Structure 1
């Protein structure tokens, strides 16, 4: 059962130059909860993650684990316990799979909740490809690697931007299973996703964004029952 909120965002605004991208975003993510941000491209979903992470200047309130993180630098936000998997799968192409995973480690010994063995258990394919250079991995393998490397930093919450983009259906299903497994470990997940099917399968709650705001909040079942919201804000 989800209890206290891990992340609380209130009246969040963000700008690119003179463009007012986020126009008062409000939502929260509970401990061990998967919350999805849905919507068409360009509505501000990725910018929301970047504002939380300090990659875009945030204007508003961002509380993480009871502490204000609005305005902190991205490395300071990460040290508080927020992991971020960007859409462009930033890997170290010249390093092996194992070396990439080791680059993500922030804690060692008894303090570490995630080890190489944990990553390999979640995604056995990474163990098989441990000594392969990351640039030789498939798109799906690179996505697995990026997410597992972020987990090696021992986050309390992980933000994942479009993890299924360009992946085969079988790998999409594996990504969904991965998200459920990390939530079972008590890690909160903020998922930015274009595929409605995976978001509806794994999320505890979904938020639909439109024009820089949250225009719908509810359970997957609530969204499934609301044809008007899906037609206006999600369908192409």
Structure 2
């Protein structure tokens, strides 16, 4: 089966700093895959390489098409969504205006999503997923809590109707209740057929919602397998994940 997203021998750099060293990974349609590892292992760099945000070489394919070398907006228009760990919102715009900015050119929100299709997403869908955003619809995004801003960025990305979403550290610094909401949100995406590549430090969340996991260590893949495989592999967890 052809992977929706595929890395083959990917190297990535920040200037002279060689961060990723020959990374291979695959994400299938409708699958949640987690990318684990300690800080500095290259997890965030991997998703930035897919989005064209860092210098990279090797092969990165999305939907069978080589996307390495494309600009971020070109990658996004092909159906790859990106939720950065920085939770970037437009602070002086309202919640609803932020959501509208996530729409693709020519997209009009309405019942069921794009152009009335049941395959798309609309603002009403976002408010059903996160009722708190509906309550804050007319508020400026800059006054939202960290958890509310994370919800908004997740939903704004969905408004572009991606086939796969790259989600970088979505639960960092959030209260346990909000962390659980985020996990449920990612599962809801999968149930709608959207694939997720999740960069996460909370091992419990990754093990709970992922079908497969990769562990990065010093820029290379040191483990790949199912959650049960990682639970059973004490050596990998001790050497590459646990503090």
TM superposition score normalised by structure 2: 0.94
**Structure 1 position 227, deviation (Å):** 0.3
Partner of 1:183: 190
Question: How many angstroms apart in 1 are the aligned matches of 2:201 and 2:208?
Answer: 13
- Is 1:66 aligned to residue 72 of structure 2? no
Partner of 1:103: 101
- Is 1:157 aligned to residue 164 of structure 2? yes
**Structure 1 position 136, deviation (Å):** 1.1
SS in 2 for 1:58: strand
Q: How many residues matched? A: 234
Aligned 1:62-211 pairs, distance under 5 A: 62-106=60-104, 107-108=107-108, 109-110=115-116, 113-211=120-218
Once the two structures are superposed, what CA deviation does each residue of 1:136-158 show, in whole Å capped at 9, x if it has no partner? 11111100000000000110110
Question: How many angstroms apart in 1 are the aligned matches of 2:16 and 2:143?
Answer: 41
Question: How many angstroms apart in 1 are the aligned matches of 2:162 and 2:234?
Answer: 36
- Is 1:219 aligned to residue 214 of structure 2? no
Unaligned 5+ segments in structure 1 are none
For the 8 Å contact 1:25–1:212, the answer to whether it is kept is yes
Once the two structures are superposed, what CA deviation does each residue of 1:84-133 show, in whole Å capped at 9, x if it has no partner? 00010010000111111011011222357010011011111111111111
For the 8 Å contact 1:8–1:27, the answer to whether it is kept is yes
TM superposition score normalised by structure 1: 0.97
**Structure 1 position 4, deviation (Å):** 4.2
Structure 1 residue ranges, 4+ long, deviating more than 6 angstroms after superposition: none
Partner of 2:112: none
